[in-house]
C-alpha cells in the first residue's frame, strides 16, 4: 500500500540523555511514553524511548547511542499548532522540565508562537495558528 495522509509518521532523533528528554517531552509537554527499550549492554541494540499522544498519527523515537550525538540546527523544528494562545503555564512547565525559551531564527515563528529548545538542542515551536491557516 502506498503512503497516504493516514500513514503514521515516526520522527527519530538521537538523544544525549533519555531521562532528561523524557522529563521535557512527557513532564513538560504532556506526551505519553509509548514504548521504551534498553540495550542492556548488547552492542547490536540501543536505548530508545518512543513518545507521543496515543491517538496521534506521529510519534518521536529518541535513541541514545554513545557513538551518535545530536546535531540540531536552528531550523530543526517540531511545530505543534495550538489554534489559540500559547499558555504561559505550558511555557513555564516546559522550562521547569529542562526546556529553554529561544528566539526563532525565522521571525515568523516568534510572530505566531513561541520556541523552546529541548535538552538535546532541538526546537519545539508552539504555534498560535491552526494547521489550516499556517
Q: What structural domains and CATH numbers belong to the chain? A: 9-64 (3.10.180.10), 77-133 (3.10.180.10)
What is the side-by-side strand order in the sheet with 9-14? 9-14, 58-64, 47-52, 32-37
Task: Write out the chain's pLDDT in tens, 134 residues.
Answer: 688 888 899 999 999 999 999 999 999 999 999 999 987 666 666 899 999 999 999 999 999 988 889 999 999 999 999 999 999 999 999 999 999 999 999 999 999 999 999 999 999 999 999 988 65
CB 97 within 8 A of CB 23: yes
Amino acid at each position: 500500500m502506498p503512503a497516504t495522509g493516514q500513514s503514521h509518521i515516526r520522527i527519530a532523533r538521537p538523544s544525549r540523555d533519555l531521562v532528561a528528554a523524557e522529563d521535557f517531552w512527557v513532564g513538560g509537554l504532556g506526551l505519553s511514553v509509548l514504548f521504551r527499550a534498553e540495550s542492556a549492554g548488547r552492542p547490536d541494540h540501543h536505548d530508545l524511548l518512543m513518545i507521543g499522544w496515543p491517538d496521534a498519527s506521529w510519534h518521536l523515537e529518541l535513541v541514545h547511542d554513545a557513538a551518535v550525538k545530536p546535531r540540531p540546527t536552528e531550523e530543526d523544528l517540531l511545530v505543534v499548532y495550538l489554534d489559540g494562545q500559547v499558555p504561559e503555564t505550558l511555557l513555564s512547565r516546559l522550562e521547569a522540565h529542562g526546556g529553554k525559551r529561544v528566539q526563532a531564527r525565522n521571525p515568523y515563528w516568534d510572530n505566531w508562537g513561541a520556541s523552546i529548545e529541548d535538552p538535546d538542542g532541538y526546537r519545539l515551536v508552539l504555534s498560535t495558528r491552526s494547521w489550516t491557516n499556517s
